[in-house]
Structures are given as structure tokens and as C-alpha cells.
Structure 1
Amino acid sequence: MSNIVKYDWYQTETVVTITVLLKNAKDKNYAVSIEEKTVQLKADGIEPITINLWDVVNVEQSSHKETPSKVEIKLLKVIGHRWEALERKVEVENPISASKKIGHDWDKISKEIEKQDADDKPQGEEAVQDLFRKIYADANEDTKKAMMKSFYESGGTVLSTNWADVGAKKVDVKPPDGCEFKKWN
């Protein structure tokens, strides 16, 4: 088994296709083994190919077929996203390199970012202002007009998103209970 076979790959969001150059594949008695994180191709007269996949694939919906010059292996991704590479390098750990890892645990990183975002969420007045900014940014033109008019005419004491309500009449000042509105010169 001295012959080394070349292979290439490409991907879409949902499928990874591996093309193994293998002339007369049928005559070489080839076999493809597809597992969730590994693909292996064995054939008479060649070195076996074992690929440790970047991410998990759906074994039942994955397939392979031969042509006169190659074997094409189609792997259906379990999670639809672009892989950084076909293979995730597997490192044999020893005490010296136990802390060294190849690749990133994107799920862990994502959870850390979400936790950090939750910790960084504004509180109190800042949270209210952020909410109003978001409402205004996502609003249609009538809602934006209603917000501007109600806030301006009420001296900042009323904020309405209903243009049908505030567009036809002047918006009165309505200070919170226990407060009195004063105009400054």
C-alpha cells in the first residue's frame, strides 16, 4: 500500500463534498465509512484516508458515489454553517502539551459573549433610554412623528407612538404623580 491518493473538498452552508481522485474505483474494491465526526476511505492498493471532520455530519443522509476517475462523498451538516476547514486536527495530549488545544470551542465562546452582554446591559434610566432608541430606530414614519411630537409638546412628560391619537391635537403636559411641571425662562 504505497500509493497515496489526493483529495479535495468544497462546501455550502449545508453540505460538505469531498472528492477523492481514484481511477477505476469500482475495480479497486473501495469502501467508504461515514461517522458523525470521521470519514474513512479504504481501497485496494492505496493508503487508507481518515479525515477527522471539523464538525458533526448527519450519517443517515450522507452518501458517496463513484465515477470513472473519482469517489465523491457528500456529507450533510447537522448545523448549517461554514466550516473553517475540512479537518479538525486531533492532538494527542501528553503532560507537557495538555494545556495546548487546536481549534476553538465556538459554543463556549458564544456563551461567554452572551453572559458578558447580559452583565453589560444598561440599568435604570439608561435601560429606558436604550428601549426608546430601539423603538424609534425600528419604527415607521408615523410612529417616529408621534414620538417626536408628543415628547416635544408635552415638555418631555409624554411619549406616544400613536400618530392617529397625537397628530390631530396638541399633547398636554402630564408630569408624574406628585410632581409639578415648571417652565424655565
Structure 2
Amino acid sequence: MSKQAFEEANEAFVDEKYQQAYELYTKALNNDDKTDNRYTSKIFASRAQCSLKLNNYSDALNDSNDALQLDEANIKAYLRKGVSLYHQNIKEQALQVFIRGLEFDATNEQLKIWHDKCEKELSENKSVNAIVPQQIKIKHSFYQTDSTVNIQIPIKGLRKDQVHIESTDSTLKVSTKIPASGHDYLLEIELAYSIDSSRTNFNVTNTNIEIKLYKRQAIQWMSLDAQSTKVKAQPPVPMSGPLVEKTPSYPSSSQRAKNWDKVEAEIKKDEKENKDDMGDANAIFQRLYKDSDEKTRRAMNKSMYESGGTCLNMNWEEVSKGRVTCEPPDVNLNI
């Protein structure tokens, strides 16, 4: 059953029906009794070739590894493993796989071709990396006024003549070499908004490159970069419009907003109208009595009556327990 499916898969592969062949190889594996490691390894390697044709490189790598676990001398599995690694841009590891395969069969032409191809490309990449200086990214920051954008790049130990600034009305380019490492630094920005490039200037301190750009319009820059999502998300916001100061709103648990200025005015008015009364004890009593509930009034009446007008108690729970008296405080006189 497994061998029949395997033969049908081979026929489908020759007819370039790769998906059908993959499914038939899978059927062959499912029906395989797993008693012959070399035969099972052969099915895995064949299915790996299908995956390569379908550009499923990770599947090809997995099947190649399974094939080699069952038969380490399976040359086709080495070839397909190396090719799958190559297409995943893991070329150094791919080269090692081709070298290992050639140890089992030094005459295999396909292994030789892929070995030489990998070795050549890796050698060329090393040469390019040696020629092209490494560029370092450094996080820059900026702040702004309604007329300028001021950029700061934190690089220490530079002189002004070591920094090169180029700007147009829509771009900025900054280049220098970092003293601490010798690496190149390059910043290229397509600016969010237009500037007057004729006025661009910069300064270099012990710790920063400081660049000043002059805006064409007094608008808020959400980012320096025109490609930023912040810039694209909303229209420009003017910075030079009249500022309207908002009266502070104090915290409140009320669901409805209160006009605290109005409340304050009413309090001051009330204080003014009752200024004379506030100094009169009888008037104070009358105001308290007027705003109290029934129990509080009873407490006030009882305490004032029983104390001869010298003690006012508004707590009925205390007053109801007995007669209210007003006793002078204990004073110990030592003469």
C-alpha cells in the first residue's frame, strides 16, 4: 500500500503535479510500517523535494532532517536540506551541509555546484562588509517653537568641522564619524513639513549636534518624518493662533458641572449681608436653629434653658440623658 502510493507520487512529480505528489508521499509515509529506515528516509527526502518545488522551504528542511536521522548517508537529503537553508538565507549553515554531503559522495555534481555557489556568495558578502563602513543609529530628539524646529543628536567629542549638514526645503541629511568607535553616522529625513533651507544652521557642543530648522508655516510638528503615522493621522495644527485660557475646573463627585465662580460670589455676598449678624450670638443661634432638624432643635432648646444660656449642645443623644449644666474648668492655682 505504501509502495504503491510512493510510485504514484513519483509519477505525479514527473508530471510536475507537485501538490498531488506531496499528498501521495504523505500517504506513503502514513501507510509505511517503518521497518526499513532507508526506504522511509527515501520517502521523506522525496517529499522534501516537493516542498522545494512548492517554495515551502521550512517543510523541506524538516523532511530532510527526518530523512537524515533515519539514514545519514542519504545524499539527496543533504542536497535538499542545504538548498532549503540557502533559500532561507542561512548560507553558512547550508555550506556546511553541502560539505558534509560531499564527505559521503565527493563526486556528486549537484552537491559540488551548490557548494561552490554558496562559498562564492559568502566570500563576496564578506568582501562587501569589509569595504562598507558600519553605520550606527543614534536616537535623536527635537523640540519646537512656532517658527523653528530644533534637533539634538547626542554624539560626544565632535568638532563642528567634522559634521556635514545638507538640507533642502523638504529634506535633511546629517553625516559624521563617531569619535568613540570610528563608525559612520548618517541621518536622512524626508521632513514632515516645508522649511526655509537657506536659514538652516547648526552648532556642535561637547555632547550634542544641535540643528535649527526654520518653518515655512507656524504649525505643530508631530514628527520630523513625513512618513510617520502621526503626521499622516491628522491635519496640521496651527501654533500661532490665539490662546484661550480655560478657567480651572475643580474635581467634584457631582454628575453635573458646577460654576464655582458663581458659588464663590454667592458665598461672598452672603457673608457681606450677614456681617453684622455673625458677631451677635443670638443671631447665630437663630441661624443654626432655622437650618436644623427637630431633634437638633430640641437639643439646642434644652441645653440653653438648663444651662442658663451658657452652654449650647446640638446632640440630642447626649442632651436627652440628663440635665445640662455648665461647669467651669478646673484651675489649679499655686501661689
The interval holding the TM-score normalised by the smaller chain is: 0.3 to 0.5
Structure with greater helix share of residues: 2
Structure with greater strand share of residues: 1
For the pair shown, which has the larger CA radius of gyration, 1 or 2?
2
After TM superposition, the score normalised by the length of structure 1 is 0.46
After TM superposition, the score normalised by the length of structure 2 is 0.27
